[in-house]
Amino acid sequence: MRMKILVTGGAGFIGSNFIRYVLKKHPDYEIVNLDALTYAGNLDNLRDAEEQAGSGPVSRYRFIKGDIGDAALVSRILADGIEAIVNFAAESHVDRSIDNAGVFIRTNVLGTQVLLEAALRLRVQRFIQISTDEVYGSLGATGKFVETTPLSPNSPYSASKASADLLARSYFETFNLPVIITRCSNNYGPFQFPEKLIPLFITNALSDQSLPLYGDGLNVRDWIHVEDHCCAIDLVLRHGRAGEVYNIGGNCEMTNREITRTILQELGKPETLIRFVKDRPGHDRRYAIDCSKLCQELGWAQKYDFKTGMHNTVTWYLDNREWWARVKSGEYMEFYKRWYGDR
Ligand code: NAD
Ligand code: DAU
């Protein structure tokens, strides 16, 4: 069955991996990628996907530079036969939301509302809101997040994502817009912007720079390879039930210290590179996801174990030094100096 999908934020980490995944898996799908190309958006992430999709009028892929908050632009795009929206577009970095929250509200909350409204008016048949496990807040030593866990966001980033979830839910309840929300745990893999823990520490270690570990380094995250996340979203898009929430997780709880040691071992670098720094304010202690609903209802299963996934990821950063050296510059380095300078 052919489908024409609007992917927003498709030039970022997960969005670009999703576009590559869908173009390969579904030869009859068409994708329009709407992305504002913020510091995190990079068309280099999609060069191979563009080639795969062909060029000219027969191409199954089209890029449009623009903001999801631009109602007129979004309506024009949807009017051109879009059947489904997968909304990845967001400000995604917790530390930046502590540094400056305004743009998180503009994109993650107001931008999502613009998309929902346009989807309603133009009768889009499927709206997948890509959310995060961070909306649930922090866990103690035991237990896992389930889809009915109350929302308790602790950072401006997670508060903006929780707000978007509530808006998405309201468009289903009030207007019957076929919305589905996915909440995934921490992703890793190729093309992740090197501000996030794993690519930051890989690229710093490759440059023999220190690895700034927050607090005691014992915060726990549940890691999933980005391709497994993309596979889950594809299943939700095709078979998920409207109005539902689906958790997505990696069954892989690790402390930040364990992650750091894995990276240093993979690269043969010394532990003396680790620098314990002042903690992130409001730092959630532990995340763990129960994704049995996704497995039982939609038949999702993970392909990557953490060891293989991390080995492939470290190798990817070793092989793509040019890619990360280019993005680890300019505005990002100004943020880096400001954020880590006094820690
Ligand atoms: P990213 O920062 O790598 O990419 C975000 C993309 O959105 C960029 O290409 C950027 O240019 C684009 N964008 C930002 N503002 C925009 C706007 N106003 N209009 C159009 N495009 C805009 O983020 P990511 O890590 O790929 O995350 C993608 C989505 O998945 C986000 O919604 C995030 O909340 C969610 N998520 C991420 C993770 C993770 O571990 N990275 C886990 C769970 C959920
Ligand atoms: O859980 C899903 C979320 O995962 C997504 O919604 C977010 O978009 C994504 O950024 C990620 O959020 P985290 O805050 O968990 O990811 P980050 O890579 O920033 O941090 C992971 C852990 O590592 C966290 O406990 C903080 C710690 N950390 C991070 C950085 C950048 C450090 O100790 N030092 C660092 O320099």
Q: Write out pLDDT tens, residues 27-47.
A: 999 999 999 999 999 999 999
Q: Token pair for residue 163?
A: 């707000």
What is the distance between the alpha carbons of residues 2 and 29, in angstroms, rounded to a whole number?
5
Angle at 167 between CA 166 and CA 168, to 5 degrees: 90
CA separation, residue 204 to residues 80, 207, 254 (Å): 44, 5, 20
pLDDT exceeds 70 at position 65: yes
Q: Token pair for residue 45?
A: 């992430």
Strands 220-225 and 253-255: antiparallel
Domains and CATH numbers, the chain: 4-193+223-251+282-307 (3.40.50.720)
Pocket test for ligand 1, best of 14, 67, 93, 247 (most atoms within 8 A of CB): 14
Q: Token pair for residue 28?
A: 């009859």
Structure-token match 């009017």, residue found = 79
pLDDT exceeds 90 at position 316: yes
More confident of the two residues 54 and 174:
174
Provide the annotated active-site residues.
Answer: 133-134, 157
Helix ranges, 138-282 (H): 156-175, 197-206, 226-239, 256-267
If pLDDT is split at 50, 70 and 90, which confidence band does 2 have?
Answer: confident
Q: Token pair for residue 183?
A: 């909440």
How many CA atoms, within 13 angstroms, populate the side-chain half-sphere of residue 24?
A: 12
What is the distance between the alpha carbons of residues 255 and 234, in angstroms, rounded to a whole number?
29
| Cα 260 to ligand 2 centroid, rounded to whole Å | 13
- 117-133 per-position pLDDT tens digit: 999 999 999 999 999 99
pLDDT exceeds 70 at position 57: no
- 195-208 per-position pLDDT tens digit: 999 999 999 999 99
pLDDT at 52: 76
